[in-house]
Structure formats: structure tokens, C-alpha cells
């Protein structure tokens, strides 16, 4: 097994005269002579030339699309076009046969909708192998970014008794028999008899626990799965997704914006440098896809141009109040083309508003700050009153990207105990159950800030895919928990 060379390495550094062993899956077998072999290390195939005259016909019939094989042979200069080298096979072993009559992935173009139905096999297509190599590179770059800056990676719980967002859209975790639920005297489910002795859920965020780490380690981050029981059947929502959440002590809103913008630029730059072939494939795929669209619906920039554009431009930073004025006076609002019209300060911005600001008005990524307190979470720091701002605001920030809308949400956290407890009371969040969180404000509190990045939305942006279900291996959405 150790003698195997990966096809990506062979195509890059291989030279005629080498004797090599490659292993992979057959993409095509034509003329009973030429195998296009792929092992997932790259979208490019290596051509294997079969000595069909001296090969058992029964064996030739086993060389079908999808079959897994081992090839040992000599590297030679390719006689065909489009490839520098090929392998003249001396020995071929079939590890796993694949019945071409029933194999769903034939050498033709398949729709993304069809491939979602066979998500256990879609890794084998060029599109999805590219997407998941890019996804890996982005995850690696995120860890590298924080590691290079002295952050400590902590693992926050997946099962929790708290609701970090206060929205209540959580998946319940229980070992109780749903057909024999124990009840107390009031007729309510008696969770004291459950595994944890209290109601517990899958986490919606690791933020609150990450704050605890930041209050001792100064700079921490968590990168893990989060869950939202939100009945949203859109191209931008998942019930299970991954979140990157840094928390930084002795930091304010400006520090938070700098950290988030720096991280996004770092990981995009890493992908451009390390996934050039895959991004070029995805770029070409997108250009081909857009040919079928009307001219006015096509992207102004190619995928790679869009990524380069994000690197070469500073993100526009404006307040929510400034954004409301821009939106109120915009043509789509005046002409009632927005589904949700902007009429007054305090409106909760929708995706159509975010995308207008990014794609039409500023034409670059935008960071919105200082949102109305009434539409934000309890833990966000209350701003001092500002002249010209109609109501109380909080030191929150959202980063908006073209084609995506919100990709990052964060804030300076409320470090003042009296302000925090008052806000929790106002939002009916039980302080007794959150004693551990409030202790960080009782014992050595300090200004601190953090944000959450939805990893799949980042992958969506960098790969140019149009549906978030196509950038996670096995999407979990309402009514769908296959594989």
C-alpha cells in the first residue's frame, strides 16, 4: 500500500521512465484501451494505457466507470493532446467492481438537484470534489490564522442547557421514552428524571462558553457544529452547520471588525494560493452556468475576480442608522420593489436590503455597526446615546458579502453586570440558570468582543455555489436527515 503515488503529485512531478503504482476509480474506459483514472487528489485524471491484446476479455469487462483499481506501470510521454504524461500499465488489479448498468454516476452532466439525492456518491464528481477540497483548505486556513495570532482553540459543549441567542429554536436532547413521559404535579414533563436532570438541547452557539475561556486565556476561538430548529427552506439555511467563534478580552467593536476582516481576507487569500486549479474549475463552471441566464442577471465579475476584489478593497464600514437612510432613499424602496419596505429606523434588515447595500450601492463588502438594541441579543454592549440616532443601540456588527448577505455577526459584549442583568430580565432570561455566565462580570470583568462566522456561508462565497446544501457533505434541513 505504501508504494502508491497520488495522481496530483504524479501529474505535477512525474517524469518518463518512472515505475509507479497508482490507485483510484475509473472515470471512463474507451476503445478497450484507455482508462481515465482519478483518486480525488485533483480533478485531473491520469491516462492509463491498457495492453488489451494481452488482457483477458473478462478482465476488460470489469474496467467500468466507478470501479476501484490498482495500476502498476511505466510513466511515458503522452502521445495524445491535453496531457504531459501517461502510464503504460503492466499490472491492473480490480479492488471493487462497479455495475455500469445501475451505477448512478455516468460520464455525463448531472443536475445539482439529482446529486443531492445521491449525496453519498456526489463526492466523486468534479464539482463536489473541488468544493470539498476548497472547504478543507478554508478550515485549515482558519485554524492557521488564529494559531498564528496566539489564540487558544477550545471545544465548547454540543449539549447545553442554555439558549445563547434567546430565540428558542433548539433541538431537544432527551433519553425519556416519548410514549411514557414522566409528569410532575403540574402536569409538565418531569425533566429531573431525564439523563441530565434538566431540559437540555443541541447548542445554537459556543459563544457564551467561549467568553468564559477568554476571561482567562485572553484570546480563544471555537470551531464546531451548531444547530437551529428553524423551519427555513432556503438556499442559505441549514439545521446543522459549523461556526467559527473567536472571543477576545480587552477588545472593543473596532478591534472586532479588524479581526473579522483580517480573517476573511486571510482565508480567501489562502484558498486562491492553494486551490488554484479547483477555483479555476469552479470559476469556469459558473461562467458556463451563467450563459443560460439573461444578461442583466449575470454576475458582474467572475468568481476569481470577485475573490480578488475582496482582498484588494477595504470593507466599507457604516452604521445601521446610515444604512437605513441609504435604503429609505433607494430606488427599490421608493418604487416599492423591496418585499420588505424600509419605512422607519428600527426595521430589521432582510437579505434583500443587505444585498442591495453590498451589490448595488457600495459594490464591495460592508460592515454594518450599532444596531437597535431591540433587534439584537441580550449580551451585546449598550452604546451611549448618540445625537441623531432615534433610539438605544448596541455595539454590534454584521459583515455583508455579495451574493450571500450576512456572513459574520458579532459585537462587543456587555461587561457591566448591572446593564447585563437588566437586559436579561427585560428579555425573560433566567439569571439564576445563567449564574456561571454572570460570574465573569462579577469577578474581574473587562471589555471584550467576539463574532460568529457561519462556515458554510464562507464556503458558499468562495466556491461560487448557489445553494448552501451543496457545500456541506450531508445537509440537514427541514424534512431531510438522509445518510
Q: Among 189-193, 233-237, 364-368, 418-422, which is the least confidently predicted range? A: 233-237
- Would you report the helix, strand and coil content of the chain in percent, each value rounded to 5? 35, 25, 40
The verdict on pTM exceeding 0.85 is yes
- Give backbone dihedrals phi and psi of 257, rounded to 5 degrees, phi first: -65, -40
**Grid cell of 370 as nine digits:** 450599532
pLDDT for 458 beyond 60:
yes
Count of other CB atoms within 10 angstroms of residue 38: 20
Count of other CB atoms within 10 angstroms of residue 476: 18
CA–CA gap between residue 22 and residue 14 (Å, rounded):
12
Q: Please, are residues 471 and 411 in contact by the beta-carbon 8 Å criterion?
A: no
The confidence score (pLDDT) of residue 165 equals 65
Domains defined along the chain, listed by start: 7-107 (2.40.50.140), 126-169+204-470 (3.30.930.10)
* Predicted confidence (pLDDT) per residue in 80-136, tens digit: 788 899 999 999 999 999 999 999 998 888 999 999 999 999 999 999 999 999 999
Q: Please, are residues 211 and 410 in contact by the beta-carbon 8 Å criterion?
A: no
Q: How confident is the model over 344-364, as a mean pLDDT? A: 93
The percent of residues above 70 in pLDDT, for the chain, comes to: 99
The confidence score (pLDDT) of residue 204 equals 94
The confidence score (pLDDT) of residue 2 equals 58
CA–CA gap between residue 184 and residue 105 (Å, rounded):
55
Q: How confident is the model over 439-457, as a mean pLDDT? A: 97
The confidence score (pLDDT) of residue 385 equals 87
Nearest to 438 by CA among 412, 411, 413, 420: 420
pLDDT for 380 beyond 60:
yes
Instruction: Give the residue ranges of DSSP H helices in 98-252.
Output: 112-117, 126-148, 207-217
Distance of CA 430 to the CA centre of its chain: 32
For the chain, give the mean pLDDT.
94
The pairing of strands 316-319 and 366-372 is parallel
* Matching residue, cell 402536569: 187
List own/partner pairs for 332-339 with CB under 8 A and 24 or more apart. Answer: 332/356
Q: CA dist 265 to 63, 71, 364, Å?
A: 45, 42, 13
pLDDT for 208 beyond 60:
yes
**Grid cell of 43 as nine digits:** 480533478
The confidence score (pLDDT) of residue 236 equals 85
Measured CA angle at 67 (ends 61, 70), to 5 deg: 95
> If DSSP states are collapsed to H, E and C, what string results for 230-243?
CCCCCCCCCCEEEE
* Predicted confidence (pLDDT) per residue in 271-301, tens digit: 999 999 999 999 999 999 888 888 777 787 8
More confident residue, 269 or 386: 269
pLDDT for 1 beyond 60:
no
The confidence score (pLDDT) of residue 386 equals 82
The confidence score (pLDDT) of residue 300 equals 77
Q: Please, are residues 227 and 239 in contact by the beta-carbon 8 Å criterion?
A: yes
Measured CA angle at 368 (ends 411, 360), to 5 deg: 155
**Grid cell of 189 as nine digits:** 414533563
pLDDT for 166 beyond 70:
no
* Residue-by-residue DSSP string for 303-321: HHHHHHHHHHSPPEEEEHH
Amino acid at each position: 500500500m505504501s508504494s502508491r503515488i497520488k495522481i496530483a503529485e504524479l501529474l505535477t512531478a512525474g517524469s518518463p521512465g518512472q515505475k509507479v503504482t497508482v490507485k483510484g476509480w475509473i472515470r471512463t474506459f474507451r476503445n478497450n484501451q484507455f482508462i481515465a483514472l482519478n483518486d480525488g487528489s485533483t480533478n485531473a485524471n491520469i491516462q492509463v494505457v491498457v495492453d488489451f491484446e494481452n488482457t483477458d476479455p473478462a478482465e476488460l469487462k470489469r474496467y467500468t466507470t466507478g470501479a476501484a483499481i490498482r495500476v502498476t506501470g511505466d510513466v511515458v510521454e503522452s502521445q495524445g493532446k491535453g496531457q504531459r504524461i501517461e502510464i503504460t500499465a503492466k499490472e491492473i488489479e480490480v479492488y471493487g467492481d462497479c455495475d455500469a448498468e445501475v451505477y448512478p454516476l455516468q460520464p455525463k452532466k448531472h443536475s445539482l438537484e439529482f446529486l443531492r439525492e445521491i449525496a453519498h456518491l456526489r463526492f466523486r464528481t468534479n464539482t463536489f470534489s473541488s468544493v470539498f477540497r476548497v472547504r478543507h483548505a478554508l478550515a485549515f486556513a482558519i485554524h492557521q490564522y488564529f494559531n498564528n495570532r496566539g489564540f487558544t482553540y477550545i471545544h465548547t459543549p454540543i449539549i447545553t442547557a442554555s439558549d445563547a441567542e434567546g430565540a428558542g429554536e433548539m433541538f431537544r436532547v432527551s433519553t425519556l421514552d416519548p410514549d411514557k413521559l414522566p409528569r410532575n404535579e403540574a402536569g409538565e414533563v418531569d425533566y429531573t428524571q431525564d439523563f441530565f436532570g434538566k431540559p437540555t438541547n443541541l447548542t445554537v452557539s459556543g459563544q457564551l462558553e467561549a467568553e468564559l475561556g477568554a476571561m482567562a486565556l485572553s484570546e480563544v476561538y471555537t470551531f464546531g457544529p451548531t444547530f437551529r430548529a428553524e423551519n427555513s427552506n432556503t438556499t442559505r439555511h441549514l439545521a446543522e452547520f459549523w461556526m467559527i467563534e473567536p472571543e477576545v478580552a480587552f477588545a472593543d467593536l473596532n478591534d472586532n471588525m479588524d479581526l473579522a476582516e483580517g480573517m476573511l481576507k486571510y482565508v480567501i487569500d489562502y484558498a486562491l494560493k492553494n486551490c488554484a486549479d479547483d477555483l479555476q474549475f469552479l470559476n469556469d463552471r459558473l461562467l458556463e452556468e451563467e450563459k443560460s441566464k439573461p444578461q442583466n442577471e449575470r454576475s458582474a465579475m467572475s468568481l476569481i475576480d470577485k475573490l480578488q476584489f475582496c482582498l484588494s478593497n477595504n470593507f466599507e464600514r457604516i452604521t445601521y442608522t446610515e444604512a437605513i437612510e441609504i435604503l429609505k432613499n433607494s430606488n427599490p424602496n421608493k418604487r416599492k420593489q423591496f418585499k420588505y419596505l424600509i419605512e422607519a429606523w428600527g426595521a430589521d434588515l432582510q437579505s434583500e436590503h443587505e444585498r442591495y447595500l453590498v451589490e448595488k450601492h457600495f459594490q464591495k463588502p460592508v460592515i454594518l455597526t450599532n444596531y437597535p438594541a431591540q433587534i439584537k441579543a441580550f449580551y451585546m454592549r449598550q452604546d451611549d446615546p448618540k445625537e441623531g440616532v432615534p433610539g438605544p443601540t448596541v455595539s454590534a456588527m454584521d459583515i455583508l458579502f455579495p451574493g450571500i448577505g450576512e456572513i459574520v455577526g458579532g459585537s462587543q459584549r456587555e461587561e457591566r453586570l448591572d446593564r447585563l442583568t437588566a437586559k436579561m430580565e427585560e428579555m425573560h432570561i433566567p439569571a439564576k440558570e445563567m449564574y456561571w455566565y454572570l460570574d465573569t462580570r462579577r469577578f474581574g470583568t473587562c471589555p471584550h468582543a467576539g463574532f460568529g462566522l457561519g462556515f458554510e456561508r464562507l464556503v458558499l462565497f468562495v466556491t461560487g455555489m448557489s445553494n448552501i446544501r451543496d457545500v456541506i457533505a450531508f445537509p440537514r434541513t427541514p424534512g431531510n436527515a438522509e445518510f
